[in-house]
Amino acid sequence: MPKALLLENLHPQARAILETAGFDVVTRTGALDESELVDALDGVHLLGIRSKTHVTAEVLAQAPDLVAIGAYCIGTNQIDLRAAASLGVAAFNAPFSNTRSVVEIAIADIIALTRRLTVFDKEMHAGTWNKSATGAHEVRGRTLGIIGYGNIGTQLSVLAENLGMSVVFYDAAEKLALGNARRAATLEELLAVSDVVTLHVDGRPGNAGFFGASQIAAMKPGSILLNLSRGFVVDPAAVRDAIVSGHLSGAAIDVFPVEPKRKGDPFESELCGLPNVILTPHTGGSTEEAQESIGQFVSNKVRDYLSTGSTTLSVNLPNVALDQPPGVHRLAFLHRNVPGVLADVNATLAEHGVNIEGQLLATRGELGYVVTDAGSPVSDDVVEALRAQPEAVRLRLLS
């Protein structure tokens, strides 16, 4: 029975799907540090995490039984994907399942900050009736600048236009503008015209420190900043200085450079206590609907990989879409992508009298993935001969 370890309070659907598929599932509520994770992965074939648990090359090197990692979130920068691939460990994420939840909290933040609802709320709870329109605005007619025009940015673009906002976006890659949104040629152009700037960039190392004091200084006086992407993208000290000086009229921050590992742990930030600043505990994608969808999506992906070899939407292995036809014995062979491997595989199979009924090959960078269906059982001699090939990374026999 394959064993799965699920960390960080994943939705019950994640466990239910894996248990139905025959996994022995162990769940833990919090994240684990490196040494804890090494110990916990003994005998584990499948690891499920969110954003707090870091799967380093050192962890992977000490987890020989690990076959797949499910990141039950959008980001995968907490996983050493290259090291995982080199050891034949597939990684999957949920690139679409919580985009709507992030978009909705962005819309909520934009309206709340533009209307200064946080200030009114605090004063009312303190017993002060301060009815005033000063500093409160409609979002209609204002300009939203979206940095990162991917799955979240494009959805946000459409909804913001429906609210009457003008949308300008900036992305390093070429992207199709939706609706009446227009592309800014440079980041500076976007910052100069936007009343609200929202960041939706990915977790690649090059984005660390991407948005600091100079970028904030280039924003319009009185504008608003949102960061719902990655904690290391924005300099919180620069945000604080801009709020205190009045250059920014508000900010909403959902992600932080250092975040507590477990629910209930203390949280500290230089942004605490500032006026018209919304702080949320990395819950941009944390709605019940999104977490259920993520639990279903990622668990189905890792289940299918272990049972059929399908790597569709894997973030680190060549992508091959597979089902499991009855009566077929399948060899899933991950190897270094060099010339001649497929010929050597087929020569080995022919030498041992294995008849090939179907075969697929895909490559991705340094890796190749050849999946072969045989019409008869595959002997241990065949498996050992393939594993002995110098280009072999990982071979799995799926029957």
Active-site residue flag, 282: yes
What distance in Å separates the CA atoms of residue 174 and residue 358, rounded to the nearest whole number? Answer: 38
Q: Considering the candidates 11, 282, 330, 335, report the single residue annotated as catalytic.
A: 282
pLDDT tens across the length of the chain (399 residues): 999 999 999 999 999 999 999 999 999 988 999 999 999 999 999 999 998 999 999 999 999 999 999 999 988 989 999 999 999 999 999 998 999 999 999 999 999 999 999 999 999 999 999 999 999 999 999 999 999 999 999 999 999 999 999 999 999 999 999 999 999 999 999 999 999 999 999 888 888 999 999 999 999 999 999 999 999 999 999 999 999 999 999 999 999 999 988 888 999 999 999 999 999 999 999 999 999 999 999 999 999 999 999 999 999 999 999 987 777 799 999 999 999 999 999 999 999 999 999 999 999 999 999 999 998 889 999 999 999 999 999 999 997
Active-site residue flag, 394: no
Q: Considering the candidates 161, 259, 292, 391, report the single residue annotated as catalytic.
A: 259
Judge whether 270 and 240 are in contact, CB under 8 Å: yes
Active-site residue flag, 259: yes
Burial of 201 (0-12, 13-18, 19+ CB in 10 A): buried
List Cβ neighbours of 388 (8 Å cut-off, separation of 6 or more). Answer: none
What distance in Å separates the CA atoms of residue 73 and residue 92, rounded to the nearest whole number? Answer: 9
Q: Considering the candidates 230, 330, 335, 394, report the single residue annotated as catalytic.
A: 230
Judge whether 26 and 5 are in contact, CB under 8 Å: yes
What distance in Å separates the CA atoms of residue 195 and residue 192, rounded to the nearest whole number? Answer: 9
Strands (E), 22-174: 24-27, 46-49, 68-71, 90-92, 143-147, 166-170
Residue whose pair of structure tokens reads 């990692």 in the numeric block:
69
Strand order in the sheet with 90-92: 24-27, 3-6, 46-49, 68-71, 90-92
